[in-house]
Amino acid sequence: MKNVTVTMEESVADWARMEAARRNTSVSRLVGELLAEKMRHDDAYERARREALEFRSYGTSNGLYLSDDEMYGRGQPR
């Protein structure tokens, strides 16, 4: 584990102390857990975003979004 120094507003520090006490842990461990949770959330979001963009392999659009014609099947045989 790595020790770091964190600077925060007094109101944030007060909240962190109360939240840590409520969870029966230290402020240091609380901050570490909150950052780890944020990291997992961001990683999962980025992974899902990449998968969604890869899933979009149908159609001919090269952009991030389908064109209106592609979306509504205009100009394609039915």
- Give residue limits of the domains in the chain: 10-72
- The string of pLDDT tens digits covering residues 26-76 is 999 999 999 999 999 998 888 888 888 777 655 555 666 777 777 787 766
What separation in angstroms does the CA of 65 have from each of 2, 10, 28, 51? 42, 45, 43, 14
Q: What is residue 46's predicted lDDT score, i.e. its pLDDT? A: 87
**For the whole model, what pTM was predicted?**
0.60
Q: Rounded to 5 degrees, what angle do the CA atoms 53, 57, 59 make? A: 120
34 alpha carbon, distance to own chain's centre: 13
